[in-house]
Amino acid sequence: MKRSWGLMDLVTVATIGIASGVLFAGWNLVWGAASPLFAAVLPLQYLLFAGTWVIAGPLAGLIVRRPGAALAGEMIAASVSFLLASQWSVDAIFSGAAQGIGAELAFAAVGYRVAGWRVALVAGALSGAGMALHDLPLYFPDVSTSFAVALVAAMVASSAIIGGIGALLLRAALRRSGALDLIGA
């Protein structure tokens, strides 16, 4: 496999990032509207919803197997969600960076050679870990330890399943339709 980034890779990552960013922006609004329902059980909201926000990293990493793809994909998506509509303003980009680094670590650990369900699952879970590292100090500075543990568990599980396995299923659908042949992934 050629090691250098070509325009096809660049445009693919940008496209995945931007399409996911549009998805994120819509999800931001859904999240906001659903907040009152989960006020008493915040970890449950994270478990059901949070994973969608990390899908861009694993998806970009699974499709473009090059160093930096997962991080770039998640950060572009986060930036686009910030540009379109985000109640977290610029912080969306910092969240994206934390989550993207998580996903990137998973792909780096296997040398960008493997991209099966295990890598996808770990990439999703590490994205969730990144989310926890970023969100807890900023938005939940003085919660009880048990609540913090519940939140972190919800973030990691949601990200692994929706973000990681979701990205894998999405790639399988794209592979079936032949879209990935055109870009050589």
Partner 1 sequence: MTSPFIEIADLTWRPAGSDRLTLDLRGTSISVPAGGLLLVSGVSGAGKSTLLRAIAGLLGTVLPGELSGRLQVGGVDLVAAARTESGIPRALSERLGYVAAGPAPTYALPLLVDDAALPLESRQTPADDMRSRIERSARDAAVDVALIDRSLTTFSGGERAAAAALVALVASPDLLVADEPLSGLDARSAERLATTLRESSATRVIAAHDLSLLGSATAQHLRLDGGAVAATAAVPAPAPDWSTMQSAAGGGAPILQLVRATAAGRDVGPSSLAVMRGTTTLITGDTGSGKSTLLHLIAGTLVVDTGDRIAAPNLRIRFAPQDSGLLLGARPARALVTPSDAARAELLAQRLDVAHLLDATPGRLSDGERRRLSIVVTLAAAPDVLILDEPSGGLDDERVTALCELLSDQALLDGSAVVIATHDPRLSTLSRPDARPLRRVRHPEETGSSVEQTEGGLVALLPAPAARVAESAERLLSPELGRRLIGTANPLTRLGLALFWFALSIASPATPVAQAAIALPVLVVAWISGVQILATLQLALALTPALAGIVLANLFGGASVEEAVGAGARLLAFAAGSLVLLRPFEPLRMADALIEKLRAPFAPTMALLATAARIPTLRDEARERRALRRLTRRGVDPLLLADMFDSVIRAVPQLAIALEVRGVRLPTRTSPPTRRRPSRFGRADLLIVGLSVGGLLVSVARAVAEAILAA
Residues that bind partner 1 (CB under 8 A): 2, 4-12, 14-16, 18-19, 22-23, 28-29, 31-36, 38-40, 76, 80, 82-83, 85-92, 138, 170, 173-174, 177-184
Shortest separation between residue 69's beta carbon and partner 1, angstroms: 12
For 87, which DSSP code? T
Q: For residues 49 and 143, what is the distance between their CA atoms, to the nearest angstrom?
A: 21
**CA proximity to 43, closest of 155, 181, 178:** 155
Between 91 and 105, whose beta carbon lies closer to partner 1? Answer: 91
Structure letter (DSSP) for residue 162? I
Nearer to partner 1, 2 or 113 (CB): 2
In whole angstroms, how close is the CB of 178 to partner 1 at the nearest point? 4
| DSSP summary character for residue 86 | -
Q: Which is nearer to partner 1, 109 or 169 (CB)?
A: 169
Contacts of 42 by beta carbon, 8 Å cutoff, 6+ apart: 151
Find the shortest distance in angstroms from Cβ 95 to partner 1. Answer: 12
